Amino acid sequence: MSNDRPTTGPDRPTADTPPRPADRQPLLEIDGLSVDFRLADSVVHAVQDVSLHVRAGETLAVVGESGSGKSATALSVLRLNPSPPCVYASGEIRFDGRDLLRLSEKELGRVRGRDIAMVFQDPMTCLDPLQRVGAQVAEVLRHHTGMSRAEAKEAALAALDEVGIPDPALRYRQYPHELSGGLRQRVMIATALVARPRVLIADEPTTALDVTVQRQILDLLVTLQHKHDMAVVLITHDLAVVAETADRVVVMNKGKVVETGDVLDVFDRPADPYTRKLLAATPRLEAA
């Protein structure tokens, strides 16, 4: 034991603590995005010169009221706005060194669901009512990877289990209408996460849910984010949900970003009058 060469031991500095999100490079970056909806007799400037970014392991909340452009911004990332009438008038959406707005449909198809996935407010409109739940989860894997039917089924079962669905084997065979709203939302999250995306965009994921179910789904999203080191973009109208989940926040109003910053800074010292108005208007439990 005279050998004094350093060996791996507990006193050696560990390198596996992940770097803080704030120190990382942006994973997804929206730069100067403008989105128009060109209607028959008018043009709606739904998104105007919006810039934002999100890093791995970080949750960015985009908050605003109806008509703020928050959903149009989110849908632009995967070019899911209905087009026509939607036109991406200017700006870039950079991911992995590529501008998603310039990709061909085929190239973008390889990003959707694999690198960047989305979860929506209403699972009933996103899940196919005529297809069994398990098949819909497995389909993502069959589409994006070379998995065999059996492998995909196994991975889908694991995904249902991971999102906290009891008795995944039973649920795998069921149709969406046989599930409660909370379970359906979990299925949609499983579908979104099964291919291990690096970015998850969640558009009002808990708005249609009861408050106790909302709590469970938000907890689930946070847990899975940490586990997989995902970047999450959370679109919401609810500042309390922002306060509980976000690292940074972007406040939008009438198509524009009015304020952006660390969630603590924005809540402590809201710089924009609109942010202050939203904060003041949000009801608080302590009012009783």
| Cα–Cα distance for residue pair 235/233, rounded to 1 Å | 6
Give the C-alpha distances (Å, rounded to integers) separating 281 from 25, 233, 237, 257: 35, 24, 12, 19
| 188 touches other proteins (CB under 8 A) | no
Could you tell me if 184 and 216 are in contact, meaning their C-beta atoms sit under 8 angstroms apart? no
Structure tokens at 227: 């586990």
Binding residue for other proteins (CB under 8 A) from 3, 42, 66, 104? 66
Q: Which positions from 107 to 146 touch other proteins by CB under 8 A, shown as an x/- string?
A: ----------------------------------------
Closer to other proteins at the Cβ: 112 or 186? 186
- Spatial separation of the C-alpha atoms in residues 163 and 183, rounded to whole Å: 9
Tell which one of 17, 25, 42, 104 touches other proteins (CB under 8 A): 17
Residue 288 in contact with other proteins, rule: CB under 8 A: yes
Residues in Cβ contact with 280 at an 8 Å cutoff, skipping those fewer than 6 apart: none
212 binding other proteins? (CB under 8 A): yes
Q: How far is CA 3 from the centre of its chain?
A: 52
Q: Which of 215, 271, 273, 276 binds other proteins (CB under 8 A)?
A: 215
Contact region with other proteins (CB under 8 A), list: 125-133, 138-146, 183-191, 260-268: 260-268
Give the type of residue at 71.
S
Task: For residue 235, report the phi and psi dihedrals to the nearest 5 degrees.
Answer: -95, 125
276 near other proteins (CB under 8 A): no
Residues that bind other proteins (CB under 8 A): 17-18, 20-22, 57-58, 65-66, 181, 210-215, 218-219, 222, 226, 237-247, 263-264, 267, 277-288
